[in-house]
A and B are shown apart, each in its own frame.
Chain A
Amino acid sequence: MGEWPLIAGQIFNGFSVASLYVLAALGLALSFGLMRVINMAHGEMLMLGGYLAYLTLQVVPGPLGILAAMPVAFLGAAAVGAVLEATLIKRLSARPLDTLLATWGVSLILQQAARNLFGAIGVDVRAPQWLNHAYTVPSGFLEGLTIPATRLFILAVAFAVMGALSLLLARTRIGLLVRAVNQDRGMAAATGINVRAVDLSVFCLGTGIAGLAGVVLALLGPVTPNVGQSYVVPAFLVVVLGGLGSLKGTAIASLIVGLFSALVQILVDVSLTQVLLLLFVIGFIQFRPQGVVAVRSRALDA
Chain B
Amino acid sequence: MDMSIHRDTPTPLTGAPLSGPMAGPRFSRPVALSLALVAVAALAPWLVSAYELNLLARFLAMGLLAMGLVLVWGQGGVLSLGQGVFFGLGGYAIAMHMKLAALGEGELPDFMVWSGLDALPWWWVPFKSPLVAILGVMLVPGVLAALFSWAVFRRRVGGVYFALITQALALAFATLLVSQQPSTGGFNGLTDFQTLMGVDLGSTAAAHGLYWLTLALVAGAFLGLRLLMNSRYGMLLRAIRDGENRIRFLGYDPTPFKVVAFTIGAVLAGLAGALFTLHAGVVSPALVGVVPSIEMVIWVAVGGRNSLAGAIAGTLAVNLAKDGVSSAFPDLWLYALGLVFVLVVTLLPGGFAGLVGDVADTSWAKRLKSIIVGRSK
Q: Chain A interface (Cβ within 8 Å of chain B)?
A: 32, 36-38, 88, 91-92, 94-98, 100-102, 104-109, 111-112, 115-116, 229, 233, 236-237, 239-240, 269, 271-272, 274-275, 277-278, 281-282, 285-286, 289, 301-302
Contacts and interface: CB of A to CB of B under 8 A. Distances in A.
Contacts of B79: 97, 100-101
Contacts of B151: 282, 286
Given A233-B171, A236-B164, A236-B167, A105 B345 contact: yes
Nearest to A100: B163
Contacts of B334: 108-109, 111-112
A278 B331 CA distance: 34
A57 to B, nearest CB: 27
A269 B179 contact: yes
15 contacts: A37-B160, A38-B160, A98-B345, A98-B346, A98-B349, A100-B81, A106-B341, A112-B331, A112-B335, A115-B331, A233-B168, A236-B164, A277-B172, A286-B155, A301-B245
A294 B152 CA distance: 17
Residue of B151, B165, B301, B341 with most chain A CB atoms under a 10 A cut-off: B341
State which size class the interface on B falls in. Answer: 35 or more
Interface stretch (B213-221, B268-276, B290-298, B355-363): B290-298
Interface in B157-196: 157, 159-161, 163-165, 167-169, 171-172, 175-176, 178-179
Nearest to A276: B172
Residue of B8, B148, B163, B246 ringed by the most chain A CB atoms within 10 A: B163
B179 A272 contact: yes
Contact of B157 (A36, A92, A289): A289
B341 A271 contact: no
A8 to B, nearest CB: 27
A278 to B, nearest CB: 4
A95 B349 contact: yes
A285 B152 contact: yes
Nearest to A115: B331
B301 to A, nearest CB: 6
Contacts of B349: 95, 98
B172 A274 contact: yes
Given A100-B163, A102-B345, 11 more contacts: A96-B159, A97-B77, A98-B345, A104-B294, A105-B337, A111-B334, A274-B171, A277-B172, A281-B168, A286-B151, A289-B157
B345 A101 contact: yes
B165 A94 contact: no
Contact of A240 (B161, B179, B290, B339): B161
Contact of B175 (A37, A95, A275): A275
Interface string B131-156: 00000000000000000100110011
A237 B164 contact: yes
Interface of B: 8, 77, 79, 81, 148, 151-152, 155-157, 159-161, 163-165, 167-169, 171-172, 175-176, 178-179, 243, 245-246, 290, 294, 297-298, 301, 331, 334-335, 337-343, 345-346, 349
Nearest to A106: B342
B345 A237 contact: no
Nearest to A288: B155
Contacts, number: 124
B294 A32 contact: no
Nearest to A36: B160
A236 to B, nearest CB: 4
B165 A281 contact: yes
Contacts of B81: 100
A189 to B, nearest CB: 19
Chain B interface SS verdict (over half): helix
A302 B338 CA distance: 35
Nearest to A302: B245
A140 B103 CA distance: 58
B71 to A, nearest CB: 15
A197 B339 CA distance: 27
A106 B151 CA distance: 32
Contact of A88 (B152, B179, B246, B342): B342
Contact of B164 (A102, A107, A239): A239
A37 B165 CA distance: 15
Given A112-B335, A115-B331, A271-B175, A289 B346 contact: no
Contacts of A115: 331
A101 B163 CA distance: 10
B345 A240 contact: no
A167 to B, nearest CB: 28
Contacts of B345: 92, 98, 101-102, 105
Given A233-B168, A236-B164, A275-B172, A92 B148 contact: no
Contacts of A92: 345-346
A116 B331 contact: yes
A269 B339 CA distance: 38
Contacts of B294: 101, 104
B160 A105 contact: no
A32 B161 CA distance: 11
A251 B243 CA distance: 33
Given A92-B346, A282-B151, A102 B341 contact: yes
A71 B200 CA distance: 64
Contacts of A289: 155-157
A103 B264 CA distance: 28
A108 B338 contact: yes
Contacts of A282: 148, 151-152, 165
